[in-house]
Amino acid sequence: MHRHFFLASFLLFIACGLVLWQQNLGPKPIAITPTITGQVEYCLTCHNDLAEISKSHPVETFGCVLCHGGQPLALNADLAHSTMRGGANPSDLSVVETSCGGEMCHSGTPQVQRDHIQRVTTSLQATYAGAIAQVRYAFGAQPDLIARMGIFAIDGLAAFDPSKESSAGIQKFAINCLTCHLTAQPMPAAENDRWTGCSACHSPAPRQDSTLVHQLTTSIPYTQCDACHNRGNYSLADMQYHSRQDTPTDRVHDYYQPIAAFTRCEWTLDCVDCHTRQEAMGDGHVYSSKKDIQYVRCKTCHGTTQSLPLTYIITDENDLALREAFLNPVIDIEVGDTILMTDKGEPLWNIHVIPAEDGGTPTYEIFGKASSERLTFKPVMGSTCQQKPDQQEAKYCHECHATQR
Amino acid sequence: MNAMPPKDNTLSRRSFLGWLVKGSLAGSVLLGLGMVGRFISFQSEQSPPSQYDLGLATHYPIGSRIPFTPAQAFIIHNNEGYRAISLVCPHLGCIVNVTGDGFTCPCHGSSYLPDGSLRKGPAARALSPLRVEANEEDHLILYTD
């Protein structure tokens, strides 16, 4: 009896000591109360060294939990992270509406141009509907090239289900070739590394040592796009992805695939300098081919022999051009400035018109969205170019302007 | 006479274990009290006060425009009297910067005129007005609730 009493009291003492010791082991809590939620979070106890993700998402306003989920009051890492959305990536399309959505954030109305999530989830980069339609057509599973299925179901597209396909080729496609859409995990090579969802484009990939970069940006270099593009080819012959064997470094000579021709602006600018948000992120409609949504051409910026590129004068303080320039201030534009716009009326906010003093053809200045570099160019009209106005595909321009490689 | 047996000063095993039990129990009680004290003394995050003493009203002469950082507020004294506006952007809650011609939100670019009214979005309304009054000691009191 006494022996048991002794053991019990001794174990109680040890247990109390262990509990107190463990309590003191933990870090001193660092609290933050974001202005949006007004709820205390202790995430900064461990993550106080993280860089601000962007100037539009300051931690004092947003905190961490609003976007990432998790347990705001937990000081134990496992518990704190147990309910995070999308792991380290809350922009994964499976959770993006909860993480990034909201009327005032990224799932507002098209009228105020805040329907980012609605557009992205219908985009070809997310649905892969074009590639699926091409392959299903090639293997006789559908009568035309019209998109009917996507990686996930949305209004107008059914979910692509390989188990319901009778063609071995389509099933092989499903196994080997679904690696580039926004919900797919990247292929296991450093040059393919990227996040999924919004962060596939808007966040840098993890570094080579696997450490993460806490950043959201609209300043997207071409190297980010190249995690998916320009890395190899899918072959219909064997239904395999054939990755490039070289490691291109010199952009003009070996970066792009050898069969393609490119003009100077195509290898000196970044992709986002010309291609618009609707081309990359969709416009809310379902398309069957990249060609149906990718509409910016040489003439969009350079015009034709008969017409100057489309322009408009910014008259409204709430103009989308000013909003985009605010997020990536490589150019100083304001109400009254004239900028270029596309055939669909999208502002090319980084291209500013400089009128000629003699009233002749203007000059245009373009600011690299990722490089901040300023370049100037003249329109086709008034030059020696003889190109017919109705022949404006890139192949015609490349006949004279392709860089010798 | 029989000689007395020598007194045994050594601690018996029973006594030793008895002291050990008492010590363990006393230590457990002390550690337990420490844990309870720590629990009771935990200071949760304080809610910000709903009113602030801005000091003597004479520190805010007519024509002055003075930020009051502890409450993220801006105090204006003009011919109509004292006014206060919140520096919290009504769009998403960032703290606006005071600029030469009003206020600008550093997060999403909303812009406000010097009196706090909306110049441009994405915010949909003006900076929120706050109540400010002078008390008997001629101190300005700012109310944020």
In this structure, what are the phi and psi dihedrals at residue B115, rounded to the nearest 5 degrees? Answer: -90, 5
Answer yes or no: do A17 and B92 touch at CB < 8 A: no
Please check the confidence at residue A311 and state whether its pLDDT lies above 90. yes
B-chain residues within 8 Å CB-CB of A19?
A: 31, 35
Contact A181, A151 (CB under 8 A): yes
Sketch out chain B's domains with CATH numbers: 51-143 (2.102.10.10)
Q: Are strands A158-159 and A149-150 parallel, antiparallel or unpaired?
A: parallel
Q: pLDDT digit string (tens) for A60-118?
A: 999 999 999 999 999 889 999 999 999 999 999 999 999 999 888 999 888 888 899 99
**CA nearest A12 in B: which residue?**
B28
Give CA angle at B47 (B71, B88), nearest 5°: 35
The stretch A348-366 carries a mean pLDDT of 92
Q: pLDDT digit string (tens) for A151-204?
A: 999 999 999 999 999 999 999 999 988 888 999 988 888 888 899 999 999 999
Among A94-98, A244-248, B22-26, B77-81, top mean pLDDT goes to: A94-98
Q: Which residues are paired to B129 by β-bridges?
A: B85
The residue behind tokens 């203007």 is A362
Answer yes or no: do B122 and A9 touch at CB < 8 A: no
A299's tokens: 């003439």
Most A CBs within 10 A among B86, B105, B120, B127, hence the mutation to make, goes to B120
The stretch A45-72 carries a mean pLDDT of 94
Most B CBs within 10 A among A326, A328, A333, A349, hence the mutation to make, goes to A326
Please check the confidence at residue B68 and state whether its pLDDT lies above 70. yes
Answer yes or no: do B24 and A5 touch at CB < 8 A: no
Q: pLDDT digit string (tens) for A208-248?
A: 777 888 999 999 999 899 888 888 888 888 888 888 877 77
The stretch B128-142 carries a mean pLDDT of 90
Please check the confidence at residue B137 and state whether its pLDDT lies above 80. yes
Instruction: Give the helix ranges, DSSP H, for A247-382.
Output: 264-268, 271-274, 277-281, 290-293, 298-302, 320-327
Output the pLDDT for position B3: 62
Q: How confident is residue B4, by pLDDT bands cut at 50, 70 and 90?
A: low
**CA nearest A20 in B: which residue?**
B35
**CA nearest B118 in A: which residue?**
A317
Most B CBs within 10 A among A7, A10, A332, A335, hence the mutation to make, goes to A10
Q: To 10 degrees, the CA torsion angle through A326, A330, A333, A338?
A: -120
Contact B24, B46 (CB under 8 A): no
pTM of the model: 0.83
DSSP class per residue in B4-60: PPPP--SPPHHHHHHHHHHHHHHHHHHHHHHHHHHHHT--PPPPPPSEEEEEEGGGS
What distance in Å separates residue A355's CA from the closest CA in chain B?
28
Answer yes or no: do B121 and A318 touch at CB < 8 A: yes
Q: How confident is residue A257, by pLDDT bands cut at 50, 70 and 90?
A: low
Domain boundaries, chain A: 17-84, 118-281, 295-401
Please report, rounded to a whole number, the percentage of residues in chain A having pLDDT higher than 90: 62
Interacting residues of B130 by C-beta distance below 8 A, sequence separation 6+? B71, B73, B84, B85, B86, B142, B143, B144
Residue A287 CB coordination number (10 Å): 20
Answer yes or no: do A55 and B106 touch at CB < 8 A: yes
Whole-number Å distance between alpha carbons of A270 and A224:
10
Q: Which residues are paired to B52 by β-bridges?
A: B142
Output the pLDDT for position A362: 93
Among A230-244, A391-405, B72-86, top mean pLDDT goes to: B72-86
A312's tokens: 């408009």
Of residues B117, B88, B92, the one with CA closest to residue B102: B117
The ipTM is 0.77
Output the pLDDT for position A27: 77
Chain B, window 85-124: residues with a beta carbon less than 8 angstroms from a chain A beta carbon: 88, 91-95, 106-109, 111, 119-122
Chain A, window 124-183: residues with a beta carbon less than 8 angstroms from a chain B beta carbon: none
